[in-house]
């Protein structure tokens, strides 16, 4: 199966100049814990509810703090025409639960999560990836920053 067959489309994108309060409110309305961050049609980062809590609030930053100050600037992504098995393996290696999905023109076309993959017939592989993702530490550990 290809990523494009099971990803979430119509992804809302945060701007690096938005406040973390505004993005948190959007996340609440969307019932989402992550948003891609874009600047002038370019994907420049990802922000999670955990980024807001750990890199923002826990460090004494207020609700008017800019997204750029707490987002993760290193963007890992996959392509919509990739096989899900390959993407799941990469998610496990990278220790991430979600990846933005780009087309081959490098335009954001969606987001893929372990949940998307688990509910689309890839439950065993999603479980293996989750096992790797759940190991302590890794590049995306909040304490590593």
- In this structure, what is the dihedral angle of CA atoms 21, 24, 28, 32, given to the nearest 10 degrees? 170
Across the range 97-106, mean pLDDT stands at 92
- Return all residues near 52 (Cβ < 8 A) that are at least 6 apart: 20, 23, 24, 70
Q: Which domains does the chain have, with CATH numbers?
A: 1-132 (3.10.580.10)
The pLDDT tens digits of the residues spanning 36-90 come to 999 987 899 999 999 999 999 999 999 999 999 999 998 999 999 999 888 888 8
Per the model's pLDDT, the better-predicted residue between 27 and 137 turns out to be 27
Parallel, antiparallel, or unpaired: how do β-strands 78-79 and 42-48 relate?
unpaired
In Å, how far from its chain's centre is CA 59?
A: 22
CB neighbours (10 Å) of residue 52? 23
């Amino acid at each position: 199966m290809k990523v494009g067959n099971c990803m979430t489309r119509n992804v809302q994108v945060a701007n690096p100049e938005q406040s973390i309060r505004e993005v948190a409110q959007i996340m609440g309305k969307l019932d989402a814990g992550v948003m891609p961050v874009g600047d002038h049609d370019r994907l420049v980062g990802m922000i999670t509810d955990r980024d807001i809590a750990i890199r923002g609030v826990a460090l004494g930053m207020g609700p008017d703090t800019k997204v750029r100050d707490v987002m993760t600037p290193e963007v890992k992504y996959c392509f919509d025409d990739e096989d899900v098995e390959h993407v799941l393996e990469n998610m496990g290696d990278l220790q991430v639960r979600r990846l933005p999905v780009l087309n081959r023109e490098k335009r954001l076309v969606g987001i893929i999560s372990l949940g998307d993959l688990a509910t689309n017939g890839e439950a065993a592989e999603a479980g293996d990836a989750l096992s790797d993702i759940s190991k302590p530490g890794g590049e995306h550990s909040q304490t590593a920053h």
